[in-house]
Structure 1
């Protein structure tokens, strides 16, 4: 278990930007597998929604309701089986996570977030911004949370347990029993359970079930459409809060952002209503094929790797090649493949490199890695 004393005024620049900047200035062709920017087509109804919005009356170009368009919030609420009053539409899942973490801190029931190791690095970054500490608890070999270790790490100082399922970077999918156990740990320590479900449409295992099914006033769920609709640039996400936490979250959202982009909300609403299930099924099928071919190449390279049960990331470990920033830069310069250093996600997988399979050149990247390490 590792603890990061991250309270303070200085914020570290995410390594994502450093790696992308390095790859952009490389002297050779580089396959970018750094960030989760989907390369596939968004739903056609989403494009239709944008076209229709362009011809709307001028009053439709003005501020939307701060908490989100009523029609969109009602559509979300129906799909999630919650009251629309609990839904706050945000500038992507990133802001939704920030709002839920802020609510956990504002309860004055601890200033620590329990996170998994490895962890999506923006979580400890947000904790740092909020003046909190982060304690990272290594996951099990399967990638699932070590609930016993979480229970041992939790204390009266724990404001919230924050997890992501399907998981970035391990590809693990937490089943309902695991979420219930984490909820119990949170309850035992008067903490909240924050669950980021942004990859909910990318479950290959059949084990995923939303934490909202627990129907608990300790559970706050976040998600968005950046990944599922392949629109990371739209910045439309949302959080579902227990009733007691909604008003303060809306106030913080209004003070920081005023509102979320109106055309993006209109387009997402149209896509939600008109996109058939086959859109998501075909995307998952395409990703399964990429995972198969990419891991085959990793076999040829003699690498160990995680096979994702959800999301679209593969972590790989190469002999005598720890997942440091300097080694990732070597891969860019010498193999022409850009991934993320494992050390960016914590200590437990610091020997690994994470690759995002959101490029049509995934097979080419796999071939380059096989040649480089084989």
Structure 2
């Protein structure tokens, strides 16, 4: 079995080697401050007794799992703290596939590239269903591709790369399809705090044994390097997930989990609201510049990505490298996200230099 290095890393490496100033709009690393309470919790940890520097419970600190369970209105035993949303999705997809209910994983097109990569790694087969021009997913289109071999349906809302936010009726229908075919809906909700539409609906709002919800604090608390995420499993799927987690990771970082717990308990809602407002301002600045440049573009309902299409400039890796060399802006090739957006480029708005990037792109394509 062969694996390819994700294009994210190839683009970032190319940008790092450039002999000019390059604005990074590739990675999803928030550039704003983490919560102050989280910083304080991490600082306090240095003075704890030696026993607090040893292994935590494999499935996560009890207090953190209890806090997550209370906020998500689930039983604490359903919660597994993971090494970011990446491991949470891995565990969820693994549990879906190892039930011997088929080996197909239904994914969207466009798709976050790590989902098909995990499917291959876990021995599954990929099936794709196209989202519409705005990134919305039609449950009727999903129903056309699922069948007896469908183990999982993997969705992401708010969505990377399209910025779509699925309404409650879509989520409910996707859970119903999973129930009908004895599949598992894996709902990745890592951008839930960046809903700009007011329409976000968690799959936890649907009572079902056929859905697993994954999330992380990486984006919402601007701590992608802490690697603290979680998955919420139905009771009959959780024990094997805990065993797999223990075999792969043993446990997660104890001080990182403690700091996140402090952040959850002591951070007021206005922290998240300020960051949403900042993101909304950047979306307006960036899309206004794309409008001036004559580009087609998406206006995200959530997450922090904008896709753009420039005339006669398809979203290939070669063109991304040209943009780095000649415009000093690094984005992601649309072809990385599937066939349907191969003519597009994706830009992450998590840089204070959004205005400068917009000006560079407008000037470059206005030549």
Given that residues 200 and 208 in structure 1 are in contact (C-alpha distance below 8 angstroms), is that contact kept between their aligned partners in structure 2? yes
- 5 Å-filtered alignment, 1:213-224, equals 213-224=205-216
Structure 1 residue 308: deviation in Å? 0.3
Q: Are 2:82 and 1:90 aligned?
A: yes
For residues 159 and 371 of structure 1, what CA distance do their matches in structure 2 show? 48
SS in structure 2 opposite 1:190?
coil
Given that residues 171 and 310 in structure 1 are in contact (C-alpha distance below 8 angstroms), is that contact kept between their aligned partners in structure 2? yes
SS in structure 2 opposite 1:88?
strand
Moved over 3 A (4+): none
Query: In the alignment, which residue of structure 1 is the partner of 2:285?
Result: 293
Q: Are 2:14 and 1:55 aligned?
A: no
- 5 Å-filtered alignment, 1:1-374, equals 9-374=1-366
For residues 4 and 99 of structure 2, what CA distance do their matches in structure 1 show? 26
Structure 1 residue 151: deviation in Å? 0.7
Given that residues 138 and 170 in structure 2 are in contact (C-alpha distance below 8 angstroms), is that contact kept between their aligned partners in structure 1? no
For residues 291 and 142 of structure 1, what CA distance do their matches in structure 2 show? 16
For residues 124 and 4 of structure 2, what CA distance do their matches in structure 1 show? 15
Given that residues 302 and 318 in structure 1 are in contact (C-alpha distance below 8 angstroms), is that contact kept between their aligned partners in structure 2? yes
Give the TM-score normalised by the residue count of structure 1.
0.97
For residues 56 and 175 of structure 1, what CA distance do their matches in structure 2 show? 45
RMSD (Å), alpha carbons? 0.6
Given that residues 53 and 254 in structure 2 are in contact (C-alpha distance below 8 angstroms), is that contact kept between their aligned partners in structure 1? yes
For residues 160 and 207 of structure 2, what CA distance do their matches in structure 1 show? 25
For residues 126 and 350 of structure 2, what CA distance do their matches in structure 1 show? 30
Aligned residues between the structures: 366
SS in structure 2 opposite 1:201?
helix
Structure 1 residue 137: deviation in Å? 1.0
Task: Note the alpha carbon deviations across 1:282-308, whole angstroms, 9 max, x for none.
Answer: 000000000000000001110000000
For residues 26 and 337 of structure 1, what CA distance do their matches in structure 2 show? 11
For residues 86 and 48 of structure 2, what CA distance do their matches in structure 1 show? 29
Structure 1 residue 64: deviation in Å? 0.0
Gaps of at least 5 residues in structure 1 are 1-8
For residues 145 and 96 of structure 1, what CA distance do their matches in structure 2 show? 22
Structure 1 residue 142: deviation in Å? 2.2
Give the TM-score normalised by the residue count of structure 2.
0.99
Task: Note the alpha carbon deviations across 1:192-219, whole angstroms, 9 max, x for none.
Answer: 1000000000001010121101011001
For residues 332 and 24 of structure 1, what CA distance do their matches in structure 2 show? 10
Structure 1 residue 188: deviation in Å? 2.1
Given that residues 285 and 355 in structure 2 are in contact (C-alpha distance below 8 angstroms), is that contact kept between their aligned partners in structure 1? yes
For residues 133 and 319 of structure 2, what CA distance do their matches in structure 1 show? 24
Given that residues 137 and 146 in structure 1 are in contact (C-alpha distance below 8 angstroms), is that contact kept between their aligned partners in structure 2? no
Given that residues 155 and 189 in structure 1 are in contact (C-alpha distance below 8 angstroms), is that contact kept between their aligned partners in structure 2? yes
Gaps of at least 5 residues in structure 2 are none
SS in structure 1 opposite 2:347?
strand
SS in structure 2 opposite 1:348?
helix
For residues 305 and 33 of structure 1, what CA distance do their matches in structure 2 show? 15
Structure 1 residue 146: deviation in Å? 2.4
